A and B are shown apart, each in its own frame.
Chain A
């Protein structure tokens, strides 16, 4: 019983919530609970023992004893594999005759754990916890529709003329035909056009495209006499549609097999995959021993075929390099090339494999600045100042999770993006200012006036970099980079008479920009004259080099890559990353108030080790700190 009392005493030291367990078990009347009083209320049972325990706890030394070998092994397995020691591992430890033997068993468990696919999966879980992006929502609306910029397809039924064939969703009613049954709008026989392709989502097979889906045209002329690019998805209900008379493009790349109407995001859905992408990137970097700072500096991501399809459609919408994108016949073939992939999909041709991708390859507006090579070189730079330029920007530097759809959707505007990324990567916490603190009266610039400046002084310079990613569409909103590629912001945007033809921009937030992006403020460092000269100056997303973030000046790089560079060069990224890793793998939060030098020392070790997660985690797990008891 003494051991149980000891356990209870140690347990009470953990936290108020943890310490409630014995009491709760008593209240719940659960039989078999260890601290249950054997004599009933009033006897010298639980209550008296609790009092004694409380006294003993108060007198107990604060420093805890090291854990036993069995408990250390359990902790290793929980940390790396999210399960305690299993029978085989317990037996190995039991066979160890000496302390040295036991140490070898523990070390072996650490090394095997770090090499196991369990570690990859643990890092995916850690990635979700760290990156914090929720389900993909379209803009701030949170509906279940899915603006994936693809024409959606359904399969012909088993009793039709083309069972299993894929037709463009809606063709059978909206366009008045029944291609699956070889009938025209009047129900008269009309053999449907057919085309056999190797589909992008499963290149190991072939499928039959039926009806319009089988058309092989690049452009069509609409009723107004305008030429329409078949590779660009137009408006639709839940279903993006390309222009009438267009097909699905090479390898059905302009189409998606299924509708976007499922808000629950089942496995193997594209919408779920873009939610998963940032966390997969965390796990990928850890697994392949890449610097974790590539999360904010890298021009690459990891993507299975569905995520690749999303980037391709995102890129194709901009009108940049259409021929190159349409002519790319390898992007969906996992067996091509030697891109590092996740350890759970090692079969060469598995389209589910999360493979490395320099995003510019499929989304040319996300600039690699490295001639297409994978890079996280902090000297990559690209300047674009719409205050002095005319016309849309040619691209935006790719910057890891900062330019991923999942994060930009969940954190759907520039200031929330800045706040969340500051929390995620610099461990900042944004709390309201103290009520007794005096601030100047609120003015147009929230970073300089009013109680808002308590947070916005830091937040607004960062928010500059995150304003270009917008969501636009009449019904289902799609991702765009504003005033970039073929999406030039109209110069007559705010001319009242032009509001109707510009209504897409107002749906995307033009009224909000006019009200909140006030010229000459910290977050909008463009003057009214500059915006009048070029409306695109609204989307000035270069953090001015004269600004400082964490006491550092930016280098004038366009967009969030400049923020990523400051995060890393200031050391904020490293200090925050080691705090996150420490909390996950050692099991407690470091206190920056009392352990700042320890955090700094850990960060130094992390940097010296190349910012690699695996060796850093190993060093944590072999530390004395990992073995401390309660």
Chain B
């Protein structure tokens, strides 16, 4: 009883909040639990969307090939204001109406695809909206909202670096020539892994390096394996190991690109000013942004200084690796 009262209260709240709650479906008709919850329409189009949803959104919801019912924007932009489906003001010329009535020509003769067309179900009272109401809605359809034209301002605007880009980024930061071309990564010297698409004649037996390339995220188009779209634990670990190898080698070889303002042999505390200046230089070299003092300080005190007690090669390797693993380095 307590549960029933609680549900009733929720229903009342929903009704009062929405003003015009959706009419209930016929009790004997199949119901979609996801749309039985109280919902509020923001305008007339939204109201129609919500009323059509029980029959439509299973196939046309989010991530569907035709996501008409993903949200109001999708409903309006893909369906309502798409003349391939709705002719504003003219329901008789609107293919959507023909499909709902089961009299469309072409591939999609009716909607829903299976069972009785929507209009037949509506005539039996199994839908939340009648065909008459839909026709009237199309007759009175307002023009589209002109404000929604551009890109989604909240969308994420970056991506991970591809395997090629990540390797090339390391190579350029360390003063090596970048690899480019098709297929990528043909270099036989150095730690660059080969793409599985690389010509077998170059390095036929080197499966370890090819596997490493795939672990970095691939792709192998020959094998129809697409590039990994996001960093995964495996690809990140592989990249970390690659960066450690390349940085360690560059530090050991006294790479001139790594030591512009400090010498590899300089020791603290005498070398602190040079070390800090070189860290700032490396920061900009790796991340393509001027180094903030806070970042230089953190790299010096938390990365370089502790490792320098082992030796300077380790310390510079750690700085290099820290920069290579910076989010700004491994993203686009």
Q: Which residues of A contact B (CB under 8 A)?
A: 1-4, 7-8, 10-11, 13-18, 20-21, 24-25, 28, 30-34, 36, 38, 62-64, 68, 70-71, 73-75, 78-79, 81-87, 90, 118, 121, 124-125, 128-129, 132-135, 262, 264-268, 272, 275, 279, 344, 410, 428-431, 433-434, 436-440, 447, 453-454, 457-458, 461, 546-551, 553, 586-588, 590-598, 600-601, 625, 628-630
Return the chain B residue nearest A457 by Cβ: B107
Contact flag A596-B156 (CB < 8 Å), given A21-B327, A551-B106 = no
Return the chain A residue nearest B105 by Cβ: A548
Q: Could you give, for residues 175-205 of chain B, a 1 whenever the CB lies within 8 Å of some chain A CB and a 0 otherwise?
A: 1001011101000000000000101111010
CB neighbours (8 Å) of A134 from chain B are 221-224
Q: B317 contacts A34, CB within 8 Å?
A: no
Q: B78 contacts A592, CB within 8 Å?
A: yes
A64 to B154, CA, bound (A): 8
CB neighbours (8 Å) of B108 from chain A are 457, 548
Beta-carbon contacts under 8 Å, B283-332 to A: 284-285, 288-290, 292, 294-295, 297-299, 302-303, 307, 317-322, 325-328, 330-332
A62 to B204, CA, bound (A): 49
B50 vs chain A, min Cβ distance (A): 16
Q: B67 contacts A121, CB within 8 Å?
A: no
Set A7, A16, A279, A596: member contacting B327, Cβ < 8 A = A7
Q: Could you give, for residues 157-179 of chain B, a 1 whenever the CB lies within 8 Å of some chain A CB and a 0 otherwise?
A: 11111101100110111010010
A16 to B111, CA, bound (A): 37
Q: A83 contacts B156, CB within 8 Å?
A: no
B313 vs chain A, min Cβ distance (A): 13
Beta-carbon contacts under 8 Å, B100-127 to A: 105-108, 112-115
A28 to B289, CA, bound (A): 27
Q: B295 contacts A3, CB within 8 Å?
A: yes
Q: B107 contacts A548, CB within 8 Å?
A: yes
A429 to B231, CA, bound (A): 23
A593 to B172, CA, bound (A): 39
CB neighbours (8 Å) of A591 from chain B are 152, 155
CB neighbours (8 Å) of B149 from chain A are 597-598, 601
Q: A24 contacts B178, CB within 8 Å?
A: no
Q: Does B148 contact A (CB under 8 A)?
A: yes
Question: What are 15 A-B pairs with beta-carbon distances under 8 A?
Answer: A4-B298, A14-B327, A15-B156, A18-B331, A20-B233, A28-B240, A31-B307, A31-B321, A63-B153, A70-B288, A266-B199, A431-B64, A548-B107, A592-B74, A595-B152
CB neighbours (8 Å) of B159 from chain A are 587-588
CB neighbours (8 Å) of A549 from chain B are 107
Q: A34 contacts B156, CB within 8 Å?
A: no
A588 to B71, CA, bound (A): 20
Q: B317 contacts A32, CB within 8 Å?
A: yes
Set A24, A78, A586: member contacting B237, Cβ < 8 A = A24
Q: B63 contacts A431, CB within 8 Å?
A: yes
Contact flag A32-B303 (CB < 8 Å), given A440-B114, A591-B155 = yes
Chain B interface mostly helix, strand, loop or mixed? Answer: loop
Q: B295 contacts A4, CB within 8 Å?
A: yes
Q: B172 contacts A128, CB within 8 Å?
A: no
Q: Which residues of B contact A (CB under 8 A)?
A: 30, 32, 58-59, 62-65, 67, 70-71, 73-74, 77-78, 84, 95, 105-108, 112-115, 148-162, 164-165, 168-169, 171-173, 175, 178, 180-182, 184, 197, 199-202, 204, 219, 221-224, 226-227, 230-233, 236-237, 240, 244, 284-285, 288-290, 292, 294-295, 297-299, 302-303, 307, 317-322, 325-328, 330-332
Set B59, B112, B157, B298: member contacting A586, Cβ < 8 A = B157
Q: B221 contacts A128, CB within 8 Å?
A: yes
CB neighbours (8 Å) of B158 from chain A are 14, 587-588, 629-630
Set A25, A593, A628: member contacting B325, Cβ < 8 A = A25
A125 to B165, CA, bound (A): 12
Contact flag A31-B327 (CB < 8 Å), given A264-B204, A549-B107, A593-B71 = no
Q: A83 contacts B168, CB within 8 Å?
A: yes
Contact flag A431-B65 (CB < 8 Å), given A13-B156, A84-B169, A265-B222 = yes
CB neighbours (8 Å) of A64 from chain B are 157
Return the chain A residue nearest B145 by Cβ: A597
Q: A7 contacts B328, CB within 8 Å?
A: yes
A588 to B108, CA, bound (A): 32
Q: A71-B289, A440-B115 are in contact. List 15 more A-B contacts (CB 8 A).
A: A13-B156, A14-B156, A16-B230, A30-B244, A63-B153, A73-B288, A128-B219, A129-B227, A437-B112, A438-B112, A453-B113, A548-B106, A548-B108, A595-B151, A598-B150
* The 8 residue pairs across chains A and B that have the minimum distance between CB atoms: A548-B106, A32-B318, A11-B327, A267-B199, A596-B77, A439-B114, A134-B224, A17-B230
Q: A78 contacts B332, CB within 8 Å?
A: yes
A601 to B151, CA, bound (A): 10
Q: A18 contacts B327, CB within 8 Å?
A: yes
Contact flag A121-B221 (CB < 8 Å), given A28-B237, A71-B288 = no
A21 to B317, CA, bound (A): 19
Name the residue among B115, B171, B317, B332 with the largest chain A CB count within 10 angstroms: B332
B121 vs chain A, min Cβ distance (A): 11
Contact flag A21-B105 (CB < 8 Å), given A121-B181, A438-B115 = no
Q: A68 contacts B289, CB within 8 Å?
A: yes
A163 vs chain B, min Cβ distance (A): 23
CB neighbours (8 Å) of A32 from chain B are 303, 307, 317-322, 325
Q: A124 contacts B62, CB within 8 Å?
A: no
B270 vs chain A, min Cβ distance (A): 23
Set A17, A34, A90, A266: member contacting B200, Cβ < 8 A = A266
A595 to B155, CA, bound (A): 10
Q: B62 contacts A593, CB within 8 Å?
A: yes
Q: B327 contacts A439, CB within 8 Å?
A: no
B173 vs chain A, min Cβ distance (A): 8
A398 vs chain B, min Cβ distance (A): 24
A406 to B202, CA, bound (A): 23
Q: B160 contacts A18, CB within 8 Å?
A: yes
Q: B327 contacts A30, CB within 8 Å?
A: no
Contact flag A547-B106 (CB < 8 Å), given A588-B159, A596-B73 = yes
Set A1, A118, A410, A548: member contacting B180, Cβ < 8 A = A118
CB neighbours (8 Å) of A125 from chain B are 164, 182, 184
Set B288, B297, B330: member contacting A74, Cβ < 8 A = B288
